[in-house]
Amino acid sequence: MSEAPVGLNSTVSATHRDAAPPRPLWQVIFVRPETLTFVLLVLAIFAGGQLSPYFLDIRYILDSFTLTAELSLLALILTLVIIAGEIDLSPASAMALSACLFAYAMSFDWPMWICVSIGIGSGLIMGAINSALIIGLQLPSIIVTIGTLTLYRGLAQVIAGDKSIRVPEWYIGIDKVQVLGLPAPDLIFILAAIALAFLLGMTVWGRQIYQTGTNETAAIYAGIRTRRIKAVLFLATGVTASIAGMIFISRLGSVRYDLGLGGELQMVLMAMLGGTYIFGGRGTILGTFLAALLLSVISTGMTTANLLPATQLCVLGVLLVLSIIATNFIYSRTQR
């Protein structure tokens, strides 16, 4: 027990009394959940190539992504909702209902702008119902959107019955359209990701979404209109759901009430796998973007290798648990 170390300690703590030492730059850049997602993506591509000789074909991988592009698009906007401290489980059902209405309108040969207005309008109304219940009546979003998840799906079944509604030939095949060497749905997803990443990362509005999710009370005292932010996010989710539905119909050529059944879980999975914190305040568009690619690569790789769906479910489950552990570990080490 010499005096020297104590003296040294006290000097150190005196100099840095107000703040913990700043994290080294390399840590800020690399120790984050997205890094894990990226590493997994690289590993998954490698593993896919090992599992089947038919997998490593960039054309095929890009084409396969169109199968999940609609849900991935919705996962991007859902990421913002989760960062703002809420959840929306209804987009997959909203997508089905809006798509049924859109296809139903088209079956009457109405002008295109009317059909599109009906599609987008229904998405807007469904978003408005969600926000009215959650923000207007101050109900928990998880309960409200489980309710509307069932309600929207039910309405879709009332409208479409068990039959499928077909759309005209000219409307079919958006996934066959190549723009800049990419299938159109892939490109839409990439552009949406860039736009939302800019919005979330570079604008005041984006900072306000993070603050709303981190501590709503503090955000309100700081003059942020958190209710307005959340309302806009729920409306945007509704509209995105209807756009995703239109892409989906063009790819399938027809729509039934069970379009994207269970899709909400895939969307939440993408957000979680990308490092979005389920209690809000943390997460990035980049993470969800990488996770969407990761999920597509994993399922395509395993399906191409003719692996049993049971194996696929196990792999996805393990990945999700792993990523949640990693996300929580990283966030607990890097102070809030």
Residues that bind another protein (CB under 8 A): 52, 54-55, 57, 60, 63-64, 67, 164, 166, 172-173, 251-254, 256, 258-262, 299-300, 303-304, 306, 308-310, 312-313
Q: Is residue 331 a contact partner of residue 282, using CB atoms and an 8 Å limit? A: yes
Pairing of strands 254-255, 178-179: unpaired
Which ranges of 161-308 does DSSP label H, i.e. alpha helix?
Answer: 184-202, 204-214, 216-221, 226-252, 263-273, 285-304
Please state, in angstroms and rounded to a whole number, the distance separating the CA atoms of residues 259 and 253.
Answer: 12
Please state, in angstroms and rounded to a whole number, the distance separating the CA atoms of residues 218 and 234.
Answer: 22
Instruction: Find the length of the chain.
Output: 336
What are the tokens at 286? 């980049």
Nearer to another protein, 182 or 220 (CB): 182
Kindly state the smallest distance separating residue 185's Cβ from another protein, in Å.
Answer: 13
Cα distances from 232 to residues 124, 142, 178, 210, 254, in angstroms, run: 10, 17, 32, 15, 31
Q: Is residue 145 a contact partner of residue 88, using CB atoms and an 8 Å limit? A: yes
Nearer to another protein, 82 or 246 (CB): 246
Residue ranges with strand state E in the chain: 165-166, 178-179, 182-183, 254-255
Nearer to another protein, 235 or 269 (CB): 269
Chain-centroid distance of CA 315 in Å reads 20
Please state, in angstroms and rounded to a whole number, the distance separating the CA atoms of residues 335 and 308.
Answer: 42
Q: Residue 17, exposed/middle/buried by CB under 10 A (0-12, 13-18, 19+)?
A: exposed
Nearer to another protein, 160 or 235 (CB): 160
Provide the 10 A C-beta neighbour count for residue 20: 7
Please state, in angstroms and rounded to a whole number, the distance separating the CA atoms of residues 67 and 248.
Answer: 9
Kindly state the smallest distance separating residue 135's Cβ from another protein, in Å.
Answer: 33
Nearer to another protein, 232 or 258 (CB): 258
Q: What are phi and psi of 305, to 5 degrees?
A: -85, 10
Nearer to another protein, 190 or 305 (CB): 305
The strand pairing partners of 254, in sequence order, are 166
